Structure 1
């Protein structure tokens, strides 16, 4: 699985990257969140107002904020090639941190792990989606972008026509990293969010999620990338009603059957899916990664018919 892009048939490696089925992780770095993690600036207002109760809130928040249980290297080795990232600064601390209601891993270490993987996997490509930024002004953005450049350097793929960008072309040019930057910055190596739409269902109701995924795929612009968020999202009131339960028990496990039923009905290629993301990608021996990657075989099967 760690070399799945490298081992794709040449005909698939020549396809636009946006026509391949690519597995991704939702809130990719939450594996590092623990009961000792501090409340982060992306936590919603009711939590911010109750921050003085942090010692009591944190153990509950961990159960609802942690969406992955394996680190970035394990995710890469399992086939994950899209990473969903939320970045923030921390008062009194230098540098940047990944967040999801609570502070998670330091950015530097995670980026180095990804770089180390790419250095030994020349035919593999990763998509880093910098989704949200918190407590970051112009100066902090410049520092963060400099960190990306210092870490990945010439491996970063500049913006170009996505319909012409394939694994073959990226490998030939020594490019391995696509950086999506969902802000107003317009550096030529940062891909604006509009190049990779990522519609969000924002529901805990499984039929609504599946309907949302199908409707948005039908509306997809096939000259762009596309992220299908195959996740259920609890709001704060849902969490309060189920305070003694967890994201896993209420949103992850109940979705498993419907998630795989939906994935198996999809196909890659023109007018197909592109990036699909999930919580807890390691469940059932990384079944999610395998199911998504296997969609690429349907392209070959269709061409033989």
Structure 2
């Protein structure tokens, strides 16, 4: 891994964890800075899907232009999961839903406003294949929300996950360092935001802190307060993402005919990344940092270099 003197020379973050200095390989996961993807599957949103959220817009599901407008303001990522993985992203925010009236009772999709075109099991297979090719890269899959998912489908999904990732799954009682997991051939963590405590391979929900605002200054302020109160010895997601209002205030944004969420994010991302770089000198370092547009600008490199800053401090 490059030192601070070599900063800027790295051109690939495909295997950045495998190249961390030895002392960082023996640090607990929650002491590492890990790049994450917010609403990771939104590049795949289906314009023909019924509106899943917000509730105020569901009655417009049958209107094509309404779905198109919603999609413009729901897309937070531009690249596929495989490209995000190759870029160095290691945490994925995966929000799950069941499409109403689906002929397959166990088929699930991802969603953000609308459902995705690709189903959950297909994407998990893609991630599993990548994990096999990169055994030293720790992947954290945070499955959450589960809109319209009945209990029996949770049982099916958990069984599928355990069979698919098998011995690659990091258990809750394992030693949680990169070196220990490499030695045991494990590199996938499943965070499941639904009671599944009887499965030692399934982790509880990882707390996700975000600004809940479209104003970058408010996002920074709330994240700063969250970092200062961060619970020790556990995962912690610091969400750089902007958030649309959940009430009628959303109309102020989605009715902008010449704008979309990607453009708004792109305008705010440089400022948010500057705030993130400043955390290198702070006493409380971020753990998982999730963002929109993860393959743009220098998001991944900024997060990864926080590890090097800590290494130099030591």
Q: 1:277 aligns with which of 286, 290, 297?
A: 290
1:75 aligns with 2:84: yes
Q: Which residue of 2 aligns with 1:113?
A: 126
Instruction: Tell me the number of residue pairs that the alignment of Structure 1 and Structure 2 aligns.
Output: 293
TM-superposed deviation, 1:211: 0.5
Q: Which residue of 2 aligns with 1:175?
A: 186
**TM-score normalised by the chain length of structure 1:** 0.91
TM-superposed deviation, 1:65: 0.7
After the TM superposition, which segments of 4 or more aligned residues of structure 1 sit over 4 Å from their partners? none
Q: Which residue of 1 aligns with 2:71?
A: 62
* Deviation larger for 182-191 or 138-147: 182-191
Q: 1:139 to 1:171 in 2, by over 3 A?
A: same
Q: Which residue of 2 aligns with 1:14?
A: 26
Q: 1:174 to 1:270 in 2, by over 3 A?
A: farther
CA contact (8 A) 1:157 1:189 kept: yes
Q: Which residue of 2 aligns with 1:199?
A: 209
Structure 2 residues without counterparts, runs of 5 or longer: 1-12
Distance 1:10 1:30 in 2: 36
Q: Which residue of 1 aligns with 2:48?
A: 37
Partner SS state of residue 293, structure 2: coil
Q: Which residue of 2 aligns with 1:137?
A: 150
1:122 aligns with 2:138: no
Partner SS state of residue 211, structure 1: helix
TM-superposed deviation, 1:160: 2.5
Distance 1:206 1:29 in 2: 23
Structure 1 residues without counterparts, runs of 5 or longer: none
TM-superposed deviation, 1:52: 3.0
Q: Which residue of 2 aligns with 1:149?
A: 162
CA contact (8 A) 1:29 1:72 kept: yes
CA contact (8 A) 2:51 2:57 kept: no
Q: Which residue of 2 aligns with 1:166?
A: 177
CA contact (8 A) 1:30 1:68 kept: yes
Distance 2:307 2:103 in 1: 44
Q: Which residue of 1 aligns with 2:95?
A: 86
Partner SS state of residue 186, structure 2: coil
Q: Which residue of 2 aligns with 1:2?
A: 14
1:177-227 per-residue CA deviation (whole Å, 9 max, x = no partner) reads: 11111112212211112xx21123211122111000100000001211100
Q: Which residue of 2 aligns with 1:301?
A: 312
